[in-house]
Structure 1
Amino acid sequence: MTAPDPVPQIALNDGRSIPQLGFGVWRLQEAETPALVGTALGSGYRSIDTAAAYGNEGGVGRGLRETIVSRAEVFVTTKLWNDAQGYDATRHAFDDSLARLGLDHVDLYLIHWPCPDRGLYLDSWRALIRLQEEGRAASIGVSNFTEDQLERLVNETGVTPALNQIELHPRFQQRSLRAAHVRLGIVTEAWSPLGQAQVLDEPAITRIADRLGRSPAQVVLRWHIENGFVAIPKSATPARMHENIDVFGFSLTQEDHTAIAGLDRADGRIGPDPMTFQ
């Protein structure tokens, strides 16, 4: 296999940057995670996305320690789970995540879900601000937040999240929320960027893939890249991990983008609704 092109960096509003393509470890078992993280790093990934709720932070940390890649080269993200929201609880949960990872800091710490009925995400955000001030979370952000929730964080604390990680793929394109991100200076990061493989058999995608001699997954990931999103595809198959990062040697046409834009659906959401998920 030839080495993929280097992954571009996306600037964050705090002066730092994040690789535009990362490796997600959602649903990976703890025991298999170290080897897969090692494979990802060997394939050229320099961003690893985990979460307390995934149950594999320890495996991610072990995978980092067992590679020859230096810690300074790898961007590590983890997330606060819903049952640990609140100022003090957030700080304790962060300490637990760091201990499981075996790190002295993370590059990005996110509130995983807003859980509006709990009424605690603002207190959690204040805890993240403090963690950043202490240098233990280099950048801070959120996941699955709505425009109104983002504006509340900014208006009440004066600190804008660096990034909002949201469900985003060709069948669920979230144009209104993405426009709010641009207005507020927040990076858009896509979880389930391939729509959990449900979009890969769309004729519009397969036609583009056939013309370019690329896989449908590569076409969808290229769509994310050209739209300026950060994407974190997950795979437990080394060949697909390598394929997913090999998306910088071709481009989509405007006609391709128009065709993919037409795949957006009102019922395209796969994951939970952030307004009700607890």
Structure 2
Amino acid sequence: MKRWFLAKSLNSLIAGMLVVIIILLMIWPFVYIFLSSFKPMKEIMSRATLLPKEFTLRNYRTLLFARTPVRDFPRFLYNSFMVSLITALCTLVVASVGGYSISRNARLKRGIASRLLLLLYVFPTVILLVPLYKAFVSFGLYDNLASLVIVYTALAAPFCTWLLVSFFDSIPRDLEESASIDGASSTVAFVRIILPLAAPGLVTAGAYSFITAWGEYMFALVLISSNLKKTGPLGLATFAAEQYVEWGPLLAGAILIMLPVFVLFLPISGYFIKGFTAGAVKE
């Protein structure tokens, strides 16, 4: 019995150490980028130390206040935020209506429509670049942030719809029947009863679509050409030229792009994890 207990404790200790090592390896690049963003340029290029020898905020001042007609990083972040926010709202509308319809309609649920929801993710999205570019040029939406909202919503909506179907399935239909007996229409029951009960799923879907739009680079590079319409990732790329890389502002910009995701979604991380786990379990 004592040997079994010692063996179990040793296995738990080894497993815990492996988890700690993996976590440290995962967060190490972010820690290094964060600390290096406070280093002067000469220290970034000459020393591979973790802590800055000369602490400076010059990189952030350059990033936020040294604005030019070509480079305006606060404007880039604002563009990313607006595109991501509108994408999240549009995705929630499409996914909630679509997910509820599939959940409550047996024919749709058994049909090919629900089975093909995730077909988009089978193919690399790069194959959509040329057709979408030609389509948006034809419709006069090239170099327009609305084109990014349309693309990001189309990319995020299928997965979010599939995710919300499971949440709507877990909500008893007796609640809707009781509401209809009390005189509530199907729309009122959906808005006032179903959506509040599916709040964890909506939070998860909104967070997923926001993050998808926030960090996307490929479609923004192809569909946006004006300097002041660039998003954060595009603006960050302006600090890396062919002959010279401004490492200080580049590292500071990487931190500012990552920061909103942590600040906005750290408080709701529990809902985010719960959404991915509970949504796939059916009672």
Asked if these proteins are the same fold (TM beyond 0.5), I'd say no
The one of the two structures with greater contact order (alpha-carbon pairs below 8 A, sep at least 6) is: 2
TM-score by length of 2: 0.23
Q: Which has the larger radius of gyration?
A: 2
Q: TM-score, normalised by structure 1?
A: 0.23
Structure with the higher strand share, 1 or 2: 1
